[in-house]
Amino acid sequence: MIAVQGVQGQKVAVLGLGRSGLATARALVAGGAEPLLWDDSPEARAKAEAEGFTCHDLTRNAAFEGVAALVVSPGIPHLYPAPNPVIARAMDLGVPVDNDIGLFFRSLSTPEWDNFDTVPRVICVTGSNGKSTTTALIHHILAEAGRPTQMAGNIGRGVLDIDPPGEGEVIVLELSSYQTDLARALTPDVAVFTNLSPDHLDRHAGMGGYFAAKRRLFAEGGPDRAVIGVDEVEGRYLANQLAQGAGDDRVIRISSGQKLDAFGWSVFARKGFLAEWRHGRQIASIDLREVKGLPGAHNHQNACAAYAAVRSLGLAPRQIEAALHSFGGLPHRSQLVGERGGVRFVNDSKATNVDSAAKALQAFPRIRWIAGGMGKDGGIAALQPFLGSVVKAYLIGHSARDFALQIGQTPHEICETMDRAVARAAEEAQAGEVVLLAPAAASFDQYPNFEKRGEDFTARVRALIG
């Protein structure tokens, strides 16, 4: 674990006892602090107490006496739509509020690094869609190239739960807007911005606040290299803000669809081919069409982001290309579950919003589409331009009937449950078609999270195809 520095002998309150909260508590103890733990859930408190921790009710008036800081788990609101009462009390008393990401960055470097010929590096990935795939792909490429590497953050382990990095090691972190918004320290060596689309807007009081939370990783983090997706106006703005001019190769612009040949350094994908350009000259190209773990234009953008990040660390294009072909993809993100009679079954349960569902719908030519769940604000009317590849929709969950009204003339069937949707789609699918789970909705009406929804789809498909 990463022992938290600068907390020796201090009382540090920890609010939220999920994965990151418990990892924070352990790291605080390792750093010589006394953690005061609290969670509104009795089950979470019991789990912490089973590890030997003592819980302290942070809702009491005197709870913050002698407390040096409050560390907050990412799921707990600290500003919008309203601060959690414990956080509000800490702010009223002037107690610094931080999260595990802030503790990580202030504690990562140690005196041992003075003896390293090559110090560890940190790559951070943020954005709306593609963060997890890009993070995992960077980690995979590094590992395949023989570089020591660990992956953590919003994927895998909590950041304070990783091993102290050794010489030349690369830490790859996926960071959500919840994590970048509150961290008091952000100092990545390479920062990646994939894209931006509406999500978590209640938590950030709109798109401006959402983008501002992402932007902190770059504006306040001061990375040596910034990899910026410029397919949205926010990315173009961010790249412009960071670069001293078009030729500034500290900013690597990436795109899926645009030709970017007028900048100091760019990586883009068009018609299935990735191209790297530097100072007006193409220096590498990779055919992505046969990379099975990265189907569709959205995954080609992820490939561009990962390519740019590891190129900035000195990896060769041939090393990267070989690693792309061995990448199996992530569960619930354009994951090929199986095939029967020429019909492929793809699990993209992570496609919980309209933008990510649109990208999934553009990845395949003929789709039997399983969609629905707990619909988000605005529904799925915005998906109309992307339904041309849908042979038929099989709608499930709370929003099934609302979705049916929003998909126009697209053939559909109200299935309500995953069991029936998989069975009906498999029964009707023809060779060359894809049965695609891309819900465009949250899972909470029928499942505790998108992972469980994807696991249900996967289990039913595998039972069906044998």
The residue behind tokens 């990267």 is 320
Distances in Å between the Cα of 30 and the Cα atoms of 23, 107, 416, 449 are: 11, 12, 49, 32
Quote the DSSP letter at residue 161: G
- Residue 418 near residue 456, CB atoms below 8 Å: yes
Instruction: In whole angstroms, give the CA distance from residue 273 to residue 276.
Output: 10
133 a known binding residue?
yes
Distances in Å between the Cα of 139 and the Cα atoms of 124, 144, 306, 376 are: 11, 9, 9, 32
Which structure tokens are listed for 396? 């499930």
3-state secondary structure 278-311: ECCEEEEEEECCCCCCCCHHHHHHHHHHHHHHHH
3-state secondary structure of 130: coil
Largest CA distance in the chain: 68
130 a known binding residue?
yes
Q: Which of 383, 421, 430 shows the shortest CA–CA distance to 405?
A: 383
Helices H / strands E in the chain, number of each: 15, 19
Known binding-site residue numbers for ATP: 127-133
Binding residues, by number, are: 127-133
